[in-house]
Amino acid sequence: MPVGPAALLALEDGTVFRGRGFGATGEAFGEAVFNTAMSGYQEVLTDPSYAGQVVAMTSPHQGNYGTNRDDAESARVRVAGFAVREASRRTSSWRSERTLGEELADAGVVGIEGIDTRRLTLRLREAGSMRCGVSTEDLDPQSLVRRTRGTPGMEGADLARTVTVAEPYEAGSLVGPSARARVPAARVAAYDFGLKRNILRLLAAAGCEVTVFPAGTPATRILADGFDGVFLSNGPGDPAATTYGVAAATGLLGKVPVFGICLGHQLLGLALDGRTYKMKFGHRGANQPVRDLVTGRVEVTRG
Amino acid sequence: MPRRTDVHRILVIGSGPIVIGQACEFDYSGTQACTVLRREGYHVSLVNPNPATIMTDPEFADATYLEPLTPESMLAVIERERPDAILPTMGGQTGLNVAVELAESGELDRLGVRLIGASLEAIHRAEDRSGFHRSMVGAGLPVPRSGTARTVEEATRVAASIGYPVIVRPSFMLGGGGSGFATEPASLAELAARSLAASPATEVLVEESLAGWKEFELEVMRDGADNAVVICSIENVDPMGVHTGDSITVAPQQTLTDREYQDMRDAALACIRAIGVETGGSNIQFAVNPQDGRRVLIEMNPRVSRSSALASKATGFPIAKVAALLAVGYRLDEIANDITGKTPAAFEPTLDYVVVKVPRFAFEKFPETDPALTSTMKSVGEVMAIGRTFKEALGKAWRSLERSGYDLGPVAGGSAEPVLSSLAVPAERRLHLVEAALAAGHSVDEIAGASGIDPWFVDQIGQVVEETLALHGRALGSISDVELREAKRVGLSDARIASLTGSTELGVRRRRDELAVAPVFKTVDTCAGEFPAVTPYHYSTYEEEDEVRPASRPRVVILGAGPNRIGQGIEFDYACVHAAYALRDAGFEAVMVNSNPETVSTDYDTSDRLYFEPVSAEDVLAVCRTERPLGVIVQLGGQTPLKLAHVLDAEGFTVLGTRPEAIDLAEDRGKFAALCAELGIPAPPHGEARDLGEARAVAARIGYPVVVRPSYVLGGRAMEIVYGEDELERFVRTAAEASPDHPVLIDRFLEGAIEVDVDAVADGADVFVGAVMEHIEEAGVHSGDSSCAIPPPTLSDEELDEVERITAVLARRLQVLGLMNLQLAVKDERIWVLEANPRASRTVPFVSKVTGVPLAKAATMVLVGRTLAELTAEGLIPSDRAHYRRLPYTSVKAAVLPFGRFPGADTVLGPEMRSTGEVMGVDREPGTALAKALVASGAALPRNGTVFVSVSNRDKRAILFPAKRLADMGFRLLATKGTAGVLRRAGIDVTKVDKVSEGTPSVIDMIEEGRVDLVINTPFGRGPRTDGYHIRTAAWQAGIPCVTTLPGVLAAIRGIEALRDGPTEPRSLQEYHELARAPSPVQGVLDLRADAEVATT
């Protein structure tokens, strides 16, 4: 029984959803995407890859276990807006610190609940990713659709610059010391294009000592420090517009082992003269199987 | 990895009869396994003595054996079929146990048969408690802390190291005697002393108490290449302490953070690897401490389970089918997901809806027992509901249960009882108590604290309570479209909204129509909408977009039976499934509506369109409005859909089959008695009484003994046989209490009559009798609890002709279209009609299996306009109308009773049905058929030993002959004073033993000490204080067969004789049907009546 203010979500194709606002009041515009993970909304909210996007969760109940300081993937909420079937007014978890609504309100991010998120998902699946507007202020559907159409899209957007860190730092200060703190398995430089903290945790667990660098760091700076390897992180935006990232990858390739995840992986492709194009819609969730063609083993991954 | 080529012939083990804890979910899984293995080209043999299953229909396996699931009979089948491999993971715990026994005996090695799916070692690792504990600790997986102690001081030390509270249990003691909780050292010392004294080994197990912890289950699958995925997570609304089968459960889990869920997932995958389940599915259970998140692994089942059936229906991922494919060598990434057609089975399903399962109980059938929910499962069935929110799904689940007054939302007026203290003991009504507590103003935290139910679930129910309080007392006409939609979105039924607004269900439906508040249908697609679904598997919800696609062919809606319960179970699902198959074959789109996750009918493969919905008026009407069917079939799913005939008719939908008015005519006992009189068909004299005076007058008029029963109840509820005026008062009062506003019905009881059941199909002009079944127990035992045989052993051709004539006359008068079941009694050379039910019966699958004639299919074809003459011409039904009379083999159906689950329940068979399932035995030798049925039903008939006999005065003369036969076979006879005197006078050697009231050692002591192998006790009266009651309950607790009717005694003796003669070669159902088509002389007759006559002359 949503009790928040009336709210609208409009897609650029003219589809409009009526719901109730939660979190911050106001307006948000961005690219509408859906995520099929059944748990992990806090990780989604704070994942910098979602910068500039209005994320709809396909799983209907969100906020059940609240939010806490340990599960954030970055320093703050990154999504532009959040759309759910039902935001939990009551949280239940021994780790819960705040409700989902409080988390969004503090971050100034608009949420909408009570909408048919499955209808929204099928719309995006059929028509592809679309621009979207969420508002608790402009309740005129035609007006909100018109204003949504006036916003810039994701193509050509360089967003990594907006979510990266200002200064280099040691990952250990954030996620604790590496599993082999005395004699690290490797010293790794991580480019932060929108880095998720869990990646740092996993690198630490693998015994790596990681230093995180801002997205715009030139390759020469990394090479000068004599790292054993370089990691290019995930992040938001159009890889082709992330030109400094491509330049860094080009400068590093052949000189030091380099690996990337998500945007970082796409940047590597571009550096090797590949081309990127936008998929009709992204596969975001927690159930994607990937087969290792060498061993034949299948691992379930998160997209 | 391609499929295995080293295996060609596979034996699948079923789970046997429906019992509490093991229901038709194993028919669902076995049917899937058989189907997919045959499709892959394997030769499939199947053993399962449950005739009501789809899997045992002859077309699902190459060779189907309805033989008992004992190692001996399994071995006989294996010797004959010579499979390369056995798939032991489809038949529940029963199937797994018998496979283990066979493997351990070394016979499988001798015959070169291997187990596929789970190895003997893996099964042992999962099932043996200490081995399991070691494996889990070895894999680094936390399990509950525990330790053993031999002194009070040691116990105190162990408890201190574990941390309070703890459970203390005496070692090597079954049944929980001497165990208990301790919360601090003083109470522990006291408890440990008591517990040590109770333990034969002076040893106690001290274990950390998980009471109040949250319970979770994960369904995991692993393939031969060590790929493993989680198919579904399930969260129990009930805390630890309530058996998961009795718990209200939710999928997916709702209250774990992603990090905790992923850790649990990792632990589950580590567990399946540590146990070494090579391929297939496993169910892994966890407990989580809500205070600090500590997680322990409590159990794993290395097989398809009740939870995996639920997970399959909840996600759309067919676990059993995939498990069967994995067992023959495929990998998860090689198996396509049927629903998307695009993704492989290695995708973990993701849900964009909430699934709620609620168990269905039957405590009213066992009034002597404690209705508290414990770690022993007691529910007899379950419903599943799908909604977009927990609230919506819970509301649908409640109305699926068909318990009046149990719909979601507190009843107006509130409850006066102290709800918080009541909540401490989990019971069937617990969530309604939560509603009442919220309505009475208690806080979410108070209620969560009292009940152990997670506050998130309590708050969800709180939202429903707020909604009902907002509607209470409002006039329906004043409720706006926004308000009404919101009420529906929180899951309130039309009936509940009606009671809140002083309106009627019809009034609410009309108001919804006016305001255009209607549900839409969404699709279960395993992927939350990411990929298009090709399988139309739908659920209703109050949302914006409907996903039902237009159909290309005319639709027929089949209404299922809802939850299993005593009196309405798998037999009705069987008929519904056959209807779906028949309709598909005939070019219609079969549309199934049902709410039971255990069934084959709710497999998305069974029908063309599946609606997983409550079988209630509002939900069924919504489906019909969307589908616009040619017609609706209400006669196959038992009483549940039959009750909807009127409302469907009134709303303009065509009910296929017998008209609703004719259904009423048959169901109303007064009208039916008049009808019989009009047709000149004998029926027992009948009367109705509103008070004891009237009852005395009616009984005097029609003569004792009489059957007394309340109006408008099913399954023989509160029905009793009364022999004289002295007993009348008590039973009339009980009957009046069961249905207070209606008269008590009194019929003449035909004592000693032979009871007969008939299943027939009628097309309005012609009638086809599937078979006449003769009961073994005399009239007075509910037909669902009695055994019966085909061909009818003692009825003459003239009597059968008369039974068939009466069937035809009634079918024509009632204008029956489709199936009809008739119950009759034969006494004093006359045939009396007891009941006519114009619908499918429990015996339809048994008759079909025995005769090879698909009755439900024939009935379905009649419902869509075919005539019996046409079906005969096509060879679907035989032209020889006496086909069932001279089958060259005998088939016996026996009931399976759940008394073991209800300590204290009286085990005497009577007019109130209490069995949960049935088995059959088939053999050319009638006594062997009977013995097989009894063995399959779990009655461990002794081949020799000691028999205790105690019979009522009525039976004293008739017991002589059976007692003599037992004595002649070398059994030692024990009897109480009266019976012993009678036997001695007849020259039968017998030892007198004391009754309970006469001293020690009494017969009870002897039963408890295992010195008796068979108990014969025909009662002189029921009730918890009689000697007979104590004898019977002691026998059940000691696992000793106890026979409570005289024909049952004669049957048991024939069975014992057959067992002593040694086994006969088993034959498959397919071979029997071949025999039926080319009849050969009958080998003998199962004439227990002749035995009885010898006895009394």
**What letter represents residue B131's amino acid?**
G
**Which tokens belong to B807?**
């069937």
d(CA B82, CA B681): 54
Peptide linkage before B1001 cis (omega within 30 of 0): yes
Cα nearest neighbour of A41 on chain B: B258
Note whether A36 contacts B527, CB cutoff 8 Å. Answer: yes
Residue B910: per-residue pLDDT: 83
Phi-psi region of A166 (alpha: psi -120 to 50; beta: other; left: phi over 0): alpha
| Tens-digit pLDDT profile for residues B978-993 | 899 999 999 999 999 9
- Say which residue the tokens 């028919």 belong to: B27
Residue B40: per-residue pLDDT: 95
Residue B175: per-residue pLDDT: 47
Assess contact for B456 and A63: CB atoms under 8 A: no
SS (H, E, C) B613-649: CCCCHHHHHHHHHHHCCCEEECCCCCHHHHCCHHHHH
Cα nearest neighbour of A96 on chain B: B257
| CA within 13 Å, CB half, A263 | 31
Return the axis-axis angle of helices B494-501 and B617-627, rounded to nearest 10°: 130
d(CA B304, CA B312): 10
d(CA B218, nearest CA chain A) in Å = 14
Residue range A160-271, CATH number: 3.40.50.880
d(CA B165, CA B162): 9
Contact list in B for residue A38 (CB cut-off 8 A) is 233, 252, 350-351
d(CA B522, nearest CA chain A) in Å = 9
Beta strands in chain A (DSSP E): 6-11, 16-23, 27-35, 53-57, 61-62, 81-84, 86-87, 110-113, 130-135, 169-170, 186-192, 208-214, 229-232, 258-260, 288-291, 298-301
Note whether B530 contacts A121, CB cutoff 8 Å. Answer: yes
CA of B530: how far to CAs of A117, A262, B131, B540, in Å?
A: 12, 19, 43, 20
Q: In a 3-state reduction of DSSP, which class is residue B877? A: coil
**What letter represents residue A171's amino acid?**
A
Note whether B490 contacts A1, CB cutoff 8 Å. Answer: yes
d(CA A220, CA A252): 8
- pLDDT tens string, chain A, 303 residues long: the values are 558 999 999 999 999 999 999 999 999 999 999 999 999 999 999 999 999 999 999 999 999 999 999 999 999 999 999 999 999 999 999 999 999 999 999 999 999 999 999 999 999 999 999 999 999 999 999 999 999 999 998 888 899 999 999 999 999 988 888 877 678 889 999 999 999 999 999 999 999 999 999 999 999 999 999 999 999 999 999 999 999 999 999 999 999 999 999 999 999 999 999 999 999 888 899 888 899 988 888 988 876
Phi-psi region of B127 (alpha: psi -120 to 50; beta: other; left: phi over 0): alpha
**Which tokens belong to B226?**
């060590």
**How many interchain CB pairs under 8 A, A with B?**
150
Residue B900: per-residue pLDDT: 75
d(CA B528, nearest CA chain A) in Å = 6
| Tens-digit pLDDT profile for residues A47-86 | 999 999 999 999 999 999 999 999 999 999 999 999 999 9
Cα nearest neighbour of B458 on chain A: A90
Selection from B41, B71, B44 nearest residue B58 by Cα: B44
Average pLDDT, chain B: 91
Which of A1, A39, A288 lies at the smallest CB-CB distance from B258? A39
Please check whether residue A139 touches B, CB under 8 A. no
Selection from A10, A81, A91, A78 nearest residue A48 by Cα: A78
d(CA B122, CA B104): 13
Cβ contacts of A146 within 8 Å, gap of 6 or more: none
d(CA B1026, CA B997): 10
User: What secondary structure does DSSP assign to A127-183, as a single string?
Assistant: H-SEEEEEESS---HHHHHHHHHTS--STT---HHHHS-SS-EETHHHH---TT-SS
d(CA B844, CA B821): 9
Please check whether residue A272 touches B, CB under 8 A. no
**Which tokens belong to B30?**
């076995």
Contact list in B for residue A61 (CB cut-off 8 A) is 254, 354, 389-390
Cα nearest neighbour of B482 on chain A: A1
Rg (CA), chain A: 20
Please check whether residue A243 touches B, CB under 8 A. no
Q: What are phi and psi of A259, to 5 degrees?
A: -140, 155
d(CA B745, CA B834): 13
Please check whether residue A280 touches B, CB under 8 A. no
- Say which residue the tokens 């969420």 belong to: A134
**Which tokens belong to A164?**
């990266």
- Beta pairing, strands B166-170 & B214-222: unpaired
Could you tell me the end-to-end alpha-carbon distance of chain B, in angstroms, rounded to an integer? 72
Cα nearest neighbour of B229 on chain A: A300
d(CA A201, nearest CA chain B) in Å = 13
Assess contact for A190 and A200: CB atoms under 8 A: yes
Phi-psi region of B587 (alpha: psi -120 to 50; beta: other; left: phi over 0): left
Please check whether residue A99 touches B, CB under 8 A. no
Question: Which of the residues in chain B have pLDDT under 70?
Answer: 1-2, 172-178, 412-417, 712-716, 738-740, 1020-1025, 1079-1097
Note whether B352 contacts A37, CB cutoff 8 Å. Answer: no
- The conformation of residue B1036, written as its DSSP 8-state character, comes to H
- Say which residue the tokens 């990337």 belong to: A260
Note whether B544 contacts A116, CB cutoff 8 Å. Answer: yes
Selection from A56, A30, A53 nearest residue A41 by Cα: A56
**What letter represents residue B213's amino acid?**
W
**Which tokens belong to B656?**
């296929």
d(CA B487, nearest CA chain A) in Å = 9
**What letter represents residue B857's amino acid?**
K
Assess contact for A261 and A234: CB atoms under 8 A: yes
Q: In a 3-state reduction of DSSP, which class is residue B526? A: coil
Phi-psi region of B999 (alpha: psi -120 to 50; beta: other; left: phi over 0): left
| Tens-digit pLDDT profile for residues A199-227 | 999 999 999 999 999 999 999 999 999 99
Contact list in B for residue A60 (CB cut-off 8 A) is 352-354, 388-389
d(CA B251, CA B350): 10
Contact list in B for residue A300 (CB cut-off 8 A) is 229, 346, 348
**Which tokens belong to B368?**
């002597």
Instruction: Pick the residue of B218, B237, B253, B258 with the most A CBs within 10 A to test the interface with A by mutation.
Output: B258
Rg (CA), chain B: 29
d(CA A93, nearest CA chain B) in Å = 7
d(CA B358, CA B524): 20
Contact list in A for residue B256 (CB cut-off 8 A) is 39, 65, 93
Contact list in B for residue A70 (CB cut-off 8 A) is 259
d(CA B622, nearest CA chain A) in Å = 19
d(CA A69, nearest CA chain B) in Å = 12
Residue B712: per-residue pLDDT: 64
d(CA B364, nearest CA chain A) in Å = 36
Query: What CATH class has A6-149?
Result: alpha beta
Please check whether residue A277 touches B, CB under 8 A. no
Note whether B544 contacts A88, CB cutoff 8 Å. Answer: no
Cα angle B438, B439, B441 (rounded to 5 degrees) comes to 65
Domain ranges, ordered by start, for chain A? 6-149, 160-271
Note whether A92 contacts B455, CB cutoff 8 Å. Answer: yes
Note whether B258 contacts A92, CB cutoff 8 Å. Answer: no
Contact list in A for residue B332 (CB cut-off 8 A) is 289, 298
Please check whether residue A287 touches B, CB under 8 A. yes
Note whether A95 contacts B531, CB cutoff 8 Å. Answer: no
- The conformation of residue B318, written as its DSSP 8-state character, comes to -
Cβ contacts of B307 within 8 Å, gap of 6 or more: B217, B219, B234, B244, B283
Which of B389, B455, B544 lies at the smallest CB-CB distance from A86? B389
Assess contact for B324 and B90: CB atoms under 8 A: yes
d(CA B356, nearest CA chain A) in Å = 14
Which of A94, A125, A288 lies at the smallest CB-CB distance from B529? A125
Assess contact for A271 and A232: CB atoms under 8 A: no
Cα nearest neighbour of B531 on chain A: A125
| Tens-digit pLDDT profile for residues B250-270 | 999 999 999 999 999 999 999
Note whether A119 contacts B258, CB cutoff 8 Å. Answer: no
Residue B1020: per-residue pLDDT: 62
Find residue A300's DSSP bridge partners: A289
Please check whether residue A118 touches B, CB under 8 A. yes
Please check whether residue A36 touches B, CB under 8 A. yes
> Has the ipTM of the complex gone over 0.85?
yes
Cβ contacts of B47 within 8 Å, gap of 6 or more: B11, B12, B13, B14, B65, B67, B69, B73, B74, B77
Assess contact for A18 and A10: CB atoms under 8 A: no
**Which tokens belong to B723?**
């022999």
d(CA B348, nearest CA chain A) in Å = 5
- Beta pairing, strands B9-13 & B43-47: parallel
Instruction: Pick the residue of B530, B538, B549 with the most A CBs within 10 A to test the interface with A by mutation.
Output: B530
Assess contact for A76 and A49: CB atoms under 8 A: no
Contact list in A for residue B225 (CB cut-off 8 A) is 296-298
